[in-house]
Amino acid sequence: MDGLRNIEKGFTIWLTGPSGAGKTTLAVKLARKLREMGYRVEILDGDTIRKTLYPELGFSKEAREMHNRIVIHMARLLSRNGVIAIVSLISPYRAVRERARKEIGDFIEVYVYAPLEVRIQRDPKGLYARAMRGEIKGLTGYDGVYEEPENPEVRVDSSRMTPEEEVEAVIEKARELGYLP
């Protein structure tokens, strides 16, 4: 499509889930689809933001909360200026995600799920292997806390759905909620 389609208000698509569940994959596919539809889109990926801004931060509860607060702020700034912010962030704490919902306002929470066996099998960065060897502690979804969403707008299971089906499910929900025509 030629040119950009202006939506008055942007919104945030918040992809939460443990490491290896498929957040980044879905974020990239969603961004591509929404850009093809003519929207302004920005991906805020936790892993990338950490590496760019504070590679030494680490994964304590306090570190994660501080980092997640920064991402909430970024998503809020983008969303209120007509951009669709796609956040791909483990965001393991329910209270932090509730804060995101409250502060951003126009918000779709997507729980990106895959069973542990599947995440271990995929293990693209070798993190589960390292956790199993005891080389790292507190890997989210293995021996680290992940508080599952109770009422996400969308839940996708990447072990049963194709990324295209996941993209469709999110876009359909965005339409249903009036964020997209």
Contact indicator for 7, 130 with CB cutoff of 8 Å: no
Considering CB under 6 A, how many residues would be counted as binding ligand PPS?
22
Q: What are the backbone dihedrals phi and psi of residue 98, each rounded to the nearest 5 degrees, phi first?
A: -65, -35
Backbone angles phi, psi at 4, to 5 degrees: -100, 140
Establish whether 19 is an annotated binding residue.
yes
Paired sense of beta strands 107-113 and 11-16, if any: parallel
Tokens representing residue 98 in the block:
């509730």
Distance CA 28, CA 35 (A): 11
User: Between 19 and 58, how does the x/- string for binding to ligand PPS read (CB under 6 A)?
Assistant: xx--xx---------------------xx--x--------
Binding at 93: pick from Mg ion, ligand PPS, none (beta carbon under 5-8 Å per type): none
91 binds Mg ion (CB under 5 A): no
- Does residue 89 touch ligand PPS according to CB under 6 A? yes
12 belongs to the binding site for ligand PPS (CB under 6 A): no
User: How near is the Cβ of 82 to ligand PPS at its closest, in Å?
Assistant: 25
- Closest separation in Å from C-beta 24 to ligand PPS: 5
- Report, in Å, the least distance between residue 144 CB and Mg ion: 15
What is the C-alpha separation between 81 and 45, in angstroms, rounded?
19
Distance in angstroms (rounded) separating the CA atoms of residues 98 and 104: 10
Residues annotated in a binding site for ATP: 17-24
Q: Which residues bind Mg ion (CB under 5 A)?
A: 24, 47
